[in-house]
Structure 1
Amino acid sequence: MSAVGPLDAMFLLGETREQAMHVGGLMLFELPGAGRDQVFPESGREFVSRLYQEMLAVDAVSPVFAWRVRNRPVDLGYWSWEPDDEIDLEYHVRLSALARPGRYRELFELTSRLHGTLLDRRRPLWELHLIEGVEGHRFAIYTKVHHAMLDGVSALRLMQQMLTTDPDRTGMPAPFALPSGDAAPGSSLLRPSRFGPLGRVGQLVSVVAGLSTVGVKSAVHALRAEHSPVAFQAPRTIFNQPITGSRRFAAQSWPMERLEKVRASTGATLNDVMLAMCGGALRRYLQEQNALPDKGLTALVPVSLRGPEGNGPGGANSLATLIVDLATDERDPGRRLRRIMDSTSYGKRVLSELSPLQNLMIGALGIGSAGPAAVLPGLAGHTPPPFNLVISNIPGPAESPLYWNQSRLLGMYPASIVLNGQALNISVTSYDQQLHFGLTGCRRTVPHLQRLLVHLENALQDLEKL
């Protein structure tokens, strides 16, 4: 067995029926031959059905997908990973079909339902859904993995490993069948100890003690100082209310060229332009709901601590966090962008002065600051939120176009976590010269979530006029 990392354990401890703690992704593919001067011998349904049967017939599952969590009395309440020797692939891998006409609307409705159900803790914490019947000669793959197993960066890198630049390559495995090492999820920080549970607890204590009192104090000070005008001073909004277990998901892609032109003309970073799109869209959306507060919204922005090889100091989750001013109280899009630029520059400067482990503590404290409203009944909506929503920008594959079994990847849209008191998440990734936005919200708390897509386009048009 292998102990679960400290930050990873937070995602297990904080999970409830209303607050699922898995991350997901929707990948949209074009059927082989579509859009090319060739005729594919199989129909779309036959092709997807064959892929499904090939998935079920794999001989071995990658080790990281073969571990399940255990929390036994002998482990003194600490979570551990243990191998599952009887994996039921027909449970984990499922074939679905969209109702006609198979528009993106129907695809997102199905994704919403799938993303709102909990993973079974008696099994390895993942599912893969192969979805046929998408209009325009397309199909999709929706996957979800518990956040204790993989963070968004790790999950996206794993998905990239199943893809190729060769449009004619066949026999490519699904992500759960990719070759990998023998390590359990999250084992890079805390290795299994020959002293058993007490040894694993001792390892955790030694890691924390190794930070020293000065290290802990500096991390806490940095968290408080991070964007001192806005950190932990977010206004109450309709997003910061109790949530239900149902979800709504919406997604859309924008050409990166449009954001790059704004970046070049303003001196901002691409991430700043993306955040300004979100700030402008949220302002319009809240105005539409007659719910725009006088004070600007803030966003928690995760920052990956992983190096080029994917290594990081925090097990399955190696994240620091920024708290960014979205300037939704600012009517002028140019001034809004400049406030966002000042906010992100300040936060990155603070994090650059800290060690990797101190940055990891920043991530744990930043994410954990939403914890009280997330786990204490009746608290959400009655106390000032530490921030209003989470916005993640996950780097995507550098190469394009990419293919899986002769099927071209058209888009990849992240689906993430919403918390009690934090009912909206915006996650973005890049691929094939486009930014792909995935919006996840509580179905009841965030009405008409899809309207945010219209407002994102309007916000980008405003920025293009600067």
Structure 2
Amino acid sequence: MPLMPITDSMFLMVESREHPMHVGGLQLFRKPEDAGPDYLSEIRRRLLDRSEVRRAFRRRPARPVNTMGYAAWAEDVELELDYHFRHSALPQPGRIRELLELTGRWHSTLLDRHRPLWEVHLVEGLRDDRFAMYSKVHHALMDGVSALRQMQATLSESPDERDSPPPWGGPAATKGVRRSRRDPVSLLTGARQSLSQLAKLPGAAVKVATEAFREHSLTLPTQAPKTMLNVPIGGARRFAAQSWSLDRVRQVATAAGVSRNDVVLAMCSGALRDYLIEQRALPDTAMVAMVPVSMRKPVETGASSGNAVGALLCNLATDRSDPAERLKLIHQSMRNAKRIFKDLTPVQALILSGINVAPLGASTIPGFVNNTRPPFNLVISNVPGPRKTMYWNGAQLDGVYPASVLLDGQALNITLTSNGDNLDFGITGCRRSVPHLQRILTHLDTALAELESAVA
């Protein structure tokens, strides 16, 4: 029975009916030309016959040791794959609208803690002869980036490959349990290196403080205004999704001399501005987004090497009506935030990032969200995805739309991923607090068109 890291346990402890703590994703596929009427049924039948399952997909929480939560994972030795892998059909007329409504309902429901914490739904009935797959996995098992990588591991570059691994399989799947050993000397070395990084943290904190208070170029958690998005949330979700050409975003970035991510943030800024104007709720001061950014150093070794994510705060300049000016201010805000982190190790960056998100830890305290300013207004995350056209059992991948976690005080999340020649946006919102969520898609399209005109 493996012990549960404190991070895993925390995701389980904070979960409630109003705050499901799973990440998800909706994938759209185009059937191959030779697909028969039983194409999806045959795929499901074949995949259910495969016994290879990654260890993460066999894990469920062991019985709580006390009222405070869980201390260990248990392994489900009699996994019911047909419970976790489900076959569904859309109601007529089978539009994307019906698919997104169904996705929102699935994303609203809690996972059963008596079973491994994941589900995959194979969906047919789209009127254009495509099909979809919605999957969700608890954040205690896997974060959004890991979930996307797991999905990519099941894809192939060849449309002729008809034996793709199941979503719960992939290269790391095994039939048995294989325990790994770690050298005690390497563990001790890693601990010493981590302590060394922590010892340097006060100097890093001084650098941040100097930048923030003397140069006034760093966005702080205290600067985000209160908006209609920063309220206590319910458990029901809405989900919206759409794709845009990566080439359009790249052309704007090149013309303006900024990064593609800056353009994406400017798209979101323009869309939020127009949406809140419609709702008569645009704040007078600029909104702030938390932007997860990779903090991996190219030449690092030891315990601080590997993937690391920092939480940067970006001034979205929603108080400015000129799209070119918004893009310029967003670029400056992101450049200044990244400059602060460039000399830090991942350990230091992660700890300092915690300053930006720390107020969320108190969001479950009654009255806290209603009576305090938010540390930021929403999360906007850009996750790398497939760079080429990919296939799953002969079906071409048309879209990858992430569905994320919401918390009290954070009623909206925008996550996007690259997919070949497109950028695929997934927007998750609290059903009660964010009305007409699909309007944000229209405003994203308008915002991109305005940016193209502004830099032409």
2:268 aligned with 1:278:
yes
> In structure 2, what is the equivalent of residue 36 of structure 1?
none
* Pairwise CA distance, 1:422: 0.3
- Aligned partner letter, 1:434: N
Q: In 2, distance between residues paired with 1:68 and 1:203?
A: 32
Q: In 1, distance between residues paired with 2:431 and 2:304?
A: 32
> In structure 1, what is the equivalent of residue 107 of structure 2?
115
Does structure 2 retain, via aligned residues, the 8 Å contact 1:314–1:360?
A: no
* Pairwise CA distance, 1:176: 0.4
In structure 2, the gaps of 5 or more residues are none
Which of 368, 373, 377 pairs up with 1:384? 373
> In structure 2, what is the equivalent of residue 452 of structure 1?
440
2:123 partner SS: strand
In structure 1, the gaps of 5 or more residues are 34-39, 195-199
* Pairwise CA distance, 1:371: 2.0
Superposition TM-score, scaled by structure 2 size: 0.89
- Number of matched residues? 442
Which of 201, 204, 224 pairs up with 1:215? 201
1:2 partner SS: coil
> In structure 1, what is the equivalent of residue 314 of structure 2?
324
In structure 2, relative to structure 1, the CA distance for the partners of 1:133 and 1:77 (3 Å cut) is closer
Does structure 2 retain, via aligned residues, the 8 Å contact 1:302–1:363?
A: no
In structure 2, relative to structure 1, the CA distance for the partners of 1:314 and 1:106 (3 Å cut) is farther
Does structure 2 retain, via aligned residues, the 8 Å contact 1:9–1:148?
A: yes
Q: In 2, distance between residues paired with 1:26 and 1:48?
A: 16
User: Residues 222-275 of structure 1: CA distance to partner in whole angstroms, max 9, x if unpaired?
Assistant: 499675344331000000011000000000000011111111110010000000
* Identity rate, percent: 47
Describe how 1:59-458 pairs up with structure 2 within 5 A: 59-70=51-62, 72-73=64-65, 79-180=71-172, 211-215=197-201, 218=204, 222=208, 228-305=218-295, 318-373=308-363, 375-398=364-387, 400-458=388-446
Does structure 1 retain, via aligned residues, the 8 Å contact 2:25–2:136?
A: yes
* Pairwise CA distance, 1:387: 0.2
2:317 partner SS: coil
User: Residues 358-379 of structure 1: CA distance to partner in whole angstroms, max 9, x if unpaired?
Assistant: 1222344433332212x11232
Superposition TM-score, scaled by structure 1 size: 0.87
* Pairwise CA distance, 1:103: 0.5
2:14 aligned with 1:24:
no
1:366 partner SS: helix
Does structure 1 retain, via aligned residues, the 8 Å contact 2:198–2:348?
A: no
Q: In 2, distance between residues paired with 1:63 and 1:121?
A: 16
1:370 partner SS: helix
- Aligned partner letter, 1:352: K
In structure 2, relative to structure 1, the CA distance for the partners of 1:306 and 1:290 (3 Å cut) is same
> In structure 1, what is the equivalent of residue 36 of structure 2?
42
2:223 partner SS: coil
* Pairwise CA distance, 1:307: 8.2
Does structure 2 retain, via aligned residues, the 8 Å contact 1:237–1:292?
A: yes
* Pairwise CA distance, 1:7: 3.9
Q: In 2, distance between residues paired with 1:24 and 1:388?
A: 21
In structure 2, relative to structure 1, the CA distance for the partners of 1:141 and 1:382 (3 Å cut) is same
Which of 41, 46, 55 pairs up with 2:47? 55
User: Residues 325-373 of structure 1: CA distance to partner in whole angstroms, max 9, x if unpaired?
Assistant: 1000011111100110001001111111211111222344433332212
User: Residues 14-66 of structure 1: CA distance to partner in whole angstroms, max 9, x if unpaired?
Assistant: 21110111111100000111xxxxxx2512xx211222222222222111211
1:274 partner SS: helix
> In structure 2, what is the equivalent of residue 37 of structure 1?
none
> In structure 2, what is the equivalent of residue 15 of structure 1?
15
Q: In 1, distance between residues paired with 2:24 and 2:305?
A: 19
User: Residues 171-191 of structure 1: CA distance to partner in whole angstroms, max 9, x if unpaired?
Assistant: 212120223178xxxx99xx8
User: Residues 50-99 of structure 1: CA distance to partner in whole angstroms, max 9, x if unpaired?
Assistant: 22222222222111211223364399966333322121112211111100
2:125 partner SS: strand
In structure 2, relative to structure 1, the CA distance for the partners of 1:434 and 1:307 (3 Å cut) is farther
1:290 partner SS: coil
Moved more, 49-58 or 18-27: 49-58
- Aligned partner letter, 2:291: V
Moved more, 80-89 or 403-412: 80-89
Does structure 2 retain, via aligned residues, the 8 Å contact 1:425–1:439?
A: yes
Does structure 2 retain, via aligned residues, the 8 Å contact 1:3–1:78?
A: no
Does structure 2 retain, via aligned residues, the 8 Å contact 1:219–1:361?
A: no
Q: In 1, distance between residues paired with 2:397 and 2:67?
A: 44
RMSD between superposed Cα atoms in Å: 3.1
Q: In 1, distance between residues paired with 2:211 and 2:333?
A: 12
1:284 partner SS: helix
2:98 partner SS: helix
In structure 2, relative to structure 1, the CA distance for the partners of 1:31 and 1:57 (3 Å cut) is same
- Aligned partner letter, 1:366: N
In structure 2, relative to structure 1, the CA distance for the partners of 1:107 and 1:416 (3 Å cut) is same
